[in-house]
Amino acid sequence: MSAAGQEAQVHLVWEGPFAFPFRSDLPSVLSDPRAQRAGLYLWTFEINGKGFKVNYVGESGQVAVRMAEHLAEYLRGRYWFYDADALAHGKREPVYNVSQDCESFRTRFAALAPYLEAQLRSCRLFLAPMTSGERLRRRVESALIQQLWDHEGREFLDNTHVTPRTDDEEPVRVIIDHKAKIIGMPSELWA
């Protein structure tokens, strides 16, 4: 309980989908004003018309800046990427993995680029503005990751670690709203 005896609560509202600027039919996650805020974000892929399956959960003080950083890491060969057709069926089939050295990535870039472009074109991003500080954003991010691991498995999610609430932090109830069908997204959780 908070000092006033009230339960601490956060209300997340997922907005989207957004896209990378390769598409003109959706707002760009790099230029849309809603992406200039602090908050959480989801990288998702639409699965056979059943909804959007989460591939990555992140948080940032300015989401558009973080998305540009992610793109730069892809272009440096520091992120895995997958076959876009497999992603559309809920499977991760690596085309490139980071265990390969950066020199290999640079020499094979012409062959790999169409796969990377296909993945980024098919990615749908959702944003949830969150004005609280970084620590609470990370707790909520971690609670979402844990929820997805527990209910959807780890096979599709690229997240590898969490920074959950510590024993000296008060629990926070997170109420979640979304218009799009985000597979495995709860309506509420605790962070």
pLDDT at 3 over 70: no
Q: Looking at the 3D structure of the chain, how many domains does it have?
A: 1
Residue 2 is assigned to a structural domain of this protein: no
Structural domain harbouring 59: 9-190
Q: Who contacts 122 (Cβ-Cβ below 8 Å, separation ≥6)?
A: 45, 46, 84, 87, 88
pTM: 0.93
Quick: pLDDT tens for 140-158.
Answer: 999 999 999 999 989 999 9
- Residue 49 in domain: yes
Q: Using one digit for the tens of pLDDT, what is the confidence trace for 62-79?
A: 999 999 999 999 999 999
Q: What is the pLDDT of residue 59?
A: 97
Q: What is the DSSP string of 39-67?
A: EEEEEEEE-TTS-EEEEEEEEESSHHHHH
d(CA 100, CA 25): 34
Q: Tell me: the pLDDT tens digits for 124-138?
A: 999 999 999 999 999
Tell me the two tokens of residue 165.
């609430």
Residue with tokens 């992603």: 87
For residue 42, being part of any structural domain is answered with yes
The answer as to whether 186 is a domain residue is yes
For residues 28 and 71, is the Cβ–Cβ distance under 8 A?
A: no
- Spatial CA neighbour of 191 closest among 1, 10, 2: 10
* Residue 37 to residue 25: CA distance in whole angstroms: 22
- Split at pLDDT 50, 70, 90, the class of 6 is low
In a domain, 104, yes or no: yes
Cα of 101 vs its chain's centroid, Å: 25
In a domain, 116, yes or no: yes
pLDDT tier, 22 (very low <50, low <70, confident <90, very high otherwise) = confident
